[in-house]
C-alpha cells in the first residue's frame, strides 16, 4: 500500500493512532495559519486545540472528525503552542497527555482525562511535576504499566536539560559525542504523574555502540513505542535529516538497537508518526506538507502499510 492522504478537510499533523473498543482513532496536532514567521524555535507551529479523528478503513477510507476534545483556553496553566499529544486507556478511563508552553515559555506536559476516547477531555490544574520538552508517547505494556517516551531538540527544548534539570547553556552534541537521547519514565498508577525520574533512552548503532551525534540516524524528536512478538520497537524522527527510523529492545527502558529506516524524507521539514495494528494489519501514520505547497506548519495526514519479515524486522 502506497502512502495516501486520509484527512483532506483540514491541516492536521503528528498523528497518534490507537485502537480503543475495536475502533481506530487518531489524535493529531491541529495546524493553523498563524502570524509568526518560520524559525528554528518552531514559533510558527502555534496550535490552539486538539481533535479526535476516527478511521474505519485505513486502506481506502477517510477520517471522520469526532470533534474538538481540548482547547488551549481550557488549560489552567496554558501559555502557548499546543504541540504533539497522545492518549492511553487504563481501567476504562482515557488519558490525554499533551505538551504546551507555560507562561514562562517553557514546554511542560499535562494530562487531561475523559470517560470516552472521543472526549471531551478535562485538563488537570497543573502540569506534570518534573515534566519538560515535547512529543509524549504513552505506551501501556501487557502488565498494565504505562510508560511515557518524550523529548525533542531545538524548538523542543530538550537541549536545555541535563539530569532532568534546566541548565544555563544548551547541549547540542557534535561529531563523536553521544547523540541526543530521548527520555522514558513510568507513570503512576492513576497516570497523572511521573512515578520516577525520567531516564535516557539509549539507542545503540549496528555495532552496539551508543549512537554518536555524527550518525545521520540519531534521535531528534517524535518518539513512538509499539510491541510485537515480545519485542519493543522504539521509532523516532531524525529531525534535520528527515527520516523515521526504528530500534528494537527487550524491555520498555531499552537499550534499543538500531534496525533501519521506516520512512524517507517527505515534503516539509518535520516527520512525525505512529505505528498501530488494526484488523490484523500494521500501519504507519505520518504527515507531509505537499497539499499546502510545502508550508511546514500546514501539514496533512497520511497512512501506509507495514510488513514484518520472519525475524520481526519491519519491511518499509
CA distances from 184 to 3, 134, 150, 164, 181 (A): 30, 12, 7, 11, 10
Is 38 noted as a catalytic residue in this protein? no
Is 126 considered catalytic here?
Answer: no
Beta-carbon contacts of 73 under 8 Å, excluding residues fewer than 6 positions away, are none
Contact partners, residue 118, CB within 8 Å, separation at least 6: 25, 52, 54, 66, 67, 69
Catalytic residue among 31, 43, 221, 288: 221
Q: What are the b/e assignments for 17-44, b being 16+ CB within 10 Å?
A: bbeeeeebbbbbbbbeeeeeeeeeebbb
The cell numbers describing 29, all together, are 496536532
Which residue in 14, 31, 46, 84 is the catalytic one? 14
Residue 106 in 3-state DSSP? coil
CA dihedral 186, 101, 256, 196 (to 10 degrees): -20
Kindly list the catalytic residues: 14, 221
Amino acid at each position: 500500500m502506497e502512502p495516501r492522504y486520509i484527512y483532506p478537510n483540514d491541516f492536521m499533523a503528528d498523528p497518534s493512532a490507537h485502537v480503543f473498543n475495536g475502533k481506530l482513532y487518531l489524535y493529531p496536532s491541529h495546524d493553523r495559519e498563524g502570524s509568526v514567521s518560520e524559525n528554528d524555535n518552531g514559533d510558527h507551529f502555534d496550535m490552539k486545540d486538539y481533535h479526535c479523528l476516527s478511521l474505519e478503513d485505513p486502506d481506502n477510507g477517510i477520517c471522520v472528525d469526532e470533534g474538538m476534545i481540548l482547547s488551549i483556553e481550557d488549560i489552567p496553566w496554558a501559555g502557548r503552542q499546543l504541540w504533539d499529544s497522545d492518549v492511553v486507556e487504563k481501567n476504562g478511563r482515557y488519558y490525554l497527555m499533551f505538551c504546551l508552553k507555560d507562561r514562562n515559555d517553557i514546554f511542560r506536559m499535562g494530562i487531561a482525562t475523559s470517560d470516552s476516547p472521543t472526549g471531551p477531555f478535562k485538563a488537570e490544574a497543573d502540569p506534570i511535576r518534573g515534566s519538560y520538552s515535547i512529543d509524549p508517547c504513552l505506551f501501556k505494556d501487557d502488565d498494565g504499566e504505562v510508560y511515557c517516551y518524550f523529548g525533542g531538540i531545538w524548538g523542543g527544548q530538550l537541549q536545555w536539560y541535563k539530569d532532568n534539570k534546566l541548565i544555563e547553556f544548551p547541549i547540542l552534541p557534535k561529531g563523536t559525542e553521544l547523540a541526543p537521547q530521548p527520555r522514558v519514565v513510568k507513570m503512576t498508577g492513576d497516570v497523572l504523574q511521573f512515578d520516577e525520574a525520567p531516564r535516557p533512552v539509549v539507542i545503540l548503532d549496528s555495532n552496539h555502540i551508543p549512537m554518536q551525534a555524527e550518525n545521520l540516524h540519531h534521535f531528534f524528536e517524535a518518539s513512538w513505542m509499539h510491541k510485537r512478538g515480545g519485542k519493543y520497537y522504539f521509532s523516532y524522527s531524525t529531525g534535520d535529516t528527515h527520516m523515521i527510523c526504528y530500534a528494537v529492545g527487550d524491555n520498555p527502558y531499552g537499550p534499543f538497537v538500531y534496525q533501519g529506516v521506516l520512512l524517507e524524507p517527505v515534503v516539509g521539514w518535520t516527520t512525525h508518526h505512529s505505528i498501530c495494528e488494526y484488523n490484523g494489519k500494521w500501519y504507519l501514520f505520518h504527515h507531509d506538507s505537499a497539499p499546502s505547497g510545502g508550508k511546514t506548519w500546514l501539514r496533512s495526514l497520511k497512512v501506509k502499510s507495514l510488513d514484518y519479515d520472519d525475524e520481526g524486522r519491519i519491511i518499509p
